[in-house]
């Protein structure tokens, strides 16, 4: 399966953030635990939602009259807690190498994504698709379709880098190739053309034909 990616050039690379570029797991867990206690929810009900927009989670777990306030509250809690958010191995090098050929596609809001990137010391690319830009989040393909459109390329010419099943499912539905990292999810749960432990195991080389992927 390695040759599926390494034998071709991509017009662009679409990178997830949480769990792919940044390790925000501890902050995410603290924030959602606090939120769940405030809304008297069993923490077990939050399992399986990694990579899913907060609005989707809130709408599925909180009664309609409370949803607006509940969504605002989790936003407040998460933006206030970036302690321990760091760049994952190879993340800085990937963003720098891709330049204008790269975009971040995250289920977080723009404010939250920007806060986590800043905390991790990572640059913000010119194109970043967040929860504020879409009407349907991962596993729906819309986020990746929007990113490809913003970059002026075809989704079928894009490589998506993800760590969660909701993200790989969205990427497949958008028609993108998929590279997965093993920061949060077991290998058997990821539908990808290539799976690596983290981004330090690959390099993105930008040349006249596009972006090529090498594995090391």
**pLDDT band at 14, cuts 50/70/90?**
very high
DSSP state of 42: -
Q: How confident is the model at residue 1 (pLDDT cuts 50, 70, 90)?
A: very low
Angle at CA 122, nearest 5°, toward 73 and 82? 30
Active site residues: 16, 18
For residue 47, what pLDDT is reported?
A: 85
Over the stretch 23-53, which tens digit does the pLDDT of each residue have?
999 999 999 999 999 999 998 899 888 788 8
Whole-prediction pTM value? 0.89
Nearest to 178 by CA among 191, 187, 189, 165: 191
pLDDT by residue (tens digit) across 155-201?
999 999 999 999 999 999 999 999 999 999 999 999 999 999 999 99
17 pLDDT more than 80: yes
Segment (H or E) for 177? strand 177-181
Spans of all domains in the chain = 2-24+85-215, 25-80
Q: What is the pLDDT of residues 64-92, one digit of tens each?
A: 999 999 999 999 999 999 999 999 999 99
Q: Which two tokens stand for residue 132?
A: 């504020």
Other C-beta atoms closer than 10 Å to the C-beta of 145 total 20
Provide the 3-class DSSP secondary structure of residue 18.
strand
Tens of pLDDT along 86-129? Answer: 999 999 999 999 999 999 999 999 999 999 999 999 999 999 99
CATH 3.40.50.1000, domain 2-24+85-215, yes or no: yes
């Amino acid at each position: 399966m390695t040759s599926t990616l390494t034998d071709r050039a991509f017009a662009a690379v679409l990178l997830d953030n949480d769990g792919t570029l940044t390790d925000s797991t501890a902050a995410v867990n603290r924030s959602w635990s606090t939120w769940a206690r405030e809304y008297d929810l069993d923490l077990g009900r939050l399992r399986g939602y990694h990579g899913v927009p907060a609005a989707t989670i809130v709408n599925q777990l909180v009664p309609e009259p409370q949803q607006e306030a509940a969504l605002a509250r989790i936003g407040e809690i998460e933006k206030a807690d970036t302690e321990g958010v760091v760049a994952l191995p190879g993340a800085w090098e990937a963003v720098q190498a891709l330049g204008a050929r790269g975009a971040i596609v995250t289920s977080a809001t723009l404010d939250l994504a920007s806060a986590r990137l800043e905390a991790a010391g990572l640059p913000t690319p010119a194109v970043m698709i967040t929860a504020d830009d879409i009407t349907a989040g991962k596993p729906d393909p819309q986020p990746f379709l929007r990113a490809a459109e913003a970059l002026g390329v075809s989704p079928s010419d894009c490589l998506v880098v993800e760590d969660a099943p909701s993200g790989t499912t969205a990427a497949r539905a958008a028609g993108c190739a998929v590279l997965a990292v093993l920061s949060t999810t077991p290998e058997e749960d990821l539908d990808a053309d290539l799976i690596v432990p983290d981004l330090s195991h690959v390099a993105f080389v930008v040349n006249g034909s596009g972006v090529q992927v090498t594995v090391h």
